[in-house]
Amino acid sequence: MFSLDIEKALSMATDKNIFPVIDKVLEGKRLNMEDGVKLFESSDLLTVGILANYVTEKKNGKYAYFVINRQINPTNICALDCKFCAFATMDKNDPKAYEMNYDEIVSKAKYAVEQGASEVHIVGGLHPDWNFDVYLNMISILRKNFSDLHIKAFTAVEIDYFSKLANISYEEVLIKLKEAGLNSLPGGGAEIFSPRVRRVIAPTKIGWKKYLEIHKIAHRLGLHSTTTMLYGHVETYEERVDHMLKIREAQDETGGFTCFIPLAYQPENNDLNITEHTSGIDDLKTIAVSRLILDNLPHIKAYWVMIGEKIAQTALNFGADDMDGTVMEEKIAHFAGAKSPTQQQKERLIRLIKEAGKIPVERDTLYNHIKVYQ
């Protein structure tokens, strides 16, 4: 019944180039580089979306997830100089430079918990004067104050920095953080894996091998993580698909990624000479193609902060099954010109999901159901 419906829907497909890709998806076969590029190049967005939605619903039914969470960015003073980043500054005397003390961090987490948050998401600059203990104590202090809160903190880029600061291995850094109370890693810092692109947009950041190595070590230690891709700047379609294929290969090894998050490039106040926001078509296609390529990733997130709530809502029918969450205080995208609000109310997320024809589920970080809104 279901397959007849999907075949009927796909009988309207107009782009012959993607017919073989459609067949592969319906036969449950893995897509390759050529397939991914054909999907990106296709003008038949609706067919690509129907196909991605078919895969999403096979995996997650009609459920679409959100989380009550808060982002905390302890400092924006950073030793790296990524060209796309408008949030960080290398100069401590820059008027926008800031650093939080532990009391401020705890009070932000306290407010989040009072609002019903199950997760805090902590990332920030690589502060040149903070040693590893500053970051480690941040986690233990939060854990002492909030025994049940899920602490998702520190990207692979930060883990690499801590390992250099403390002169210990990635594994030792992660074990210490886990013992202090860390629950999982966020996916930031992936950008685009292509060394060509990294040389242009993030020349001093760790490369893709270290990024994936750190995530795989975390997975082996029992820490789940998410993973991301920054798109809409100088990368090609091939480089986007290559990025996804590398993530798929790592996931085959460990199975530890919960979710893939395409992050739409925000063009303001940075040193990259690309001033255009991504288009809605590109946002939807990127979500759909990632759903189709990443057959072993359980969830695809439409991050409303970067693509706006209207496209994020629409993306729930183009392969995404998650909207992230309330966020409460977003800085990274907003320093770079994001037009979305800096936070969402839970009721609005529920409404956006229901209007998309999906069933809203409040989840925890690991996608356990907290409440289903039938």
Residues that bind ligand V47 (CB under 6 A): 84-86, 155, 186-189, 191, 226, 228, 230, 261, 263, 265-266, 270, 303, 306, 324, 332-333, 336
Q: Do β-strands 322-325 and 369-372 pair in parallel, antiparallel, or remain unpaired? A: unpaired
Q: Considering the complex, what minimum distance in angstroms separates the CB of residue 280 from ligand V47?
A: 16
Q: Considering the complex, what minimum distance in angstroms separates the CB of residue 150 from ligand V47?
A: 12
Instruction: Name the amino acid, one letter, at 242.
Output: D
Is the Cβ of residue 21 or residue 122 nearer to ligand V47 in the bound state? 122
Is the Cβ of residue 359 or residue 366 nearer to ligand V47 in the bound state? 366
Handedness of CA 26, 29, 35, 36 (dihedral sign): positive
Residues ≥6 apart with Cβ < 8 Å to 12: 46, 47
Q: Considering the complex, what minimum distance in angstroms separates the CB of residue 210 from ligand V47?
A: 14
Residue 301 near residue 43 (C-beta atoms within 8 A): no
Is the Cβ of residue 124 or residue 360 nearer to ligand V47 in the bound state? 124
Residue 151 token pair: 């602490």
Task: Please give the distance of CA 273 from its chain centroid, rounded to a whole number.
Answer: 24
Q: Considering the complex, what minimum distance in angstroms separates the CB of residue 346 from ligand V47?
A: 17
Look-up of token digits 């909030």: 146
Is the Cβ of residue 306 or residue 353 nearer to ligand V47 in the bound state? 306
Residue 284 near residue 49 (C-beta atoms within 8 A): yes
What letter does residue 116 receive in the DSSP assignment? T
**93, burial (CB in 10 Å: exposed 0-12, middle 13-18, buried 19+):** exposed
Q: Considering the complex, what minimum distance in angstroms separates the CB of residue 333 from ligand V47?
A: 6
Q: Where are the beta strands (DSSP E) in the chain?
A: 63-67, 69-72, 119-122, 150-153, 184-185, 224-231, 257-264, 299-300, 322-325, 359-363, 369-372
Is the Cβ of residue 162 or residue 303 nearer to ligand V47 in the bound state? 303
Q: Considering the complex, what minimum distance in angstroms separates the CB of residue 174 from ligand V47?
A: 16
Is the Cβ of residue 85 or residue 300 nearer to ligand V47 in the bound state? 85
Within 13 A of 217's CA, how many CA atoms are on the CB side? 18
Is the Cβ of residue 54 or residue 304 nearer to ligand V47 in the bound state? 304
Q: Considering the complex, what minimum distance in angstroms separates the CB of residue 57 from ligand V47?
A: 22
Residues ≥6 apart with Cβ < 8 Å to 192: 198, 201, 229, 230, 231, 233, 235, 239, 240, 243
Is the Cβ of residue 47 or residue 313 nearer to ligand V47 in the bound state? 313
Instruction: Name the amino acid, one letter, at 107.
Output: S
Q: Considering the complex, what minimum distance in angstroms separates the CB of residue 299 from ligand V47?
A: 10
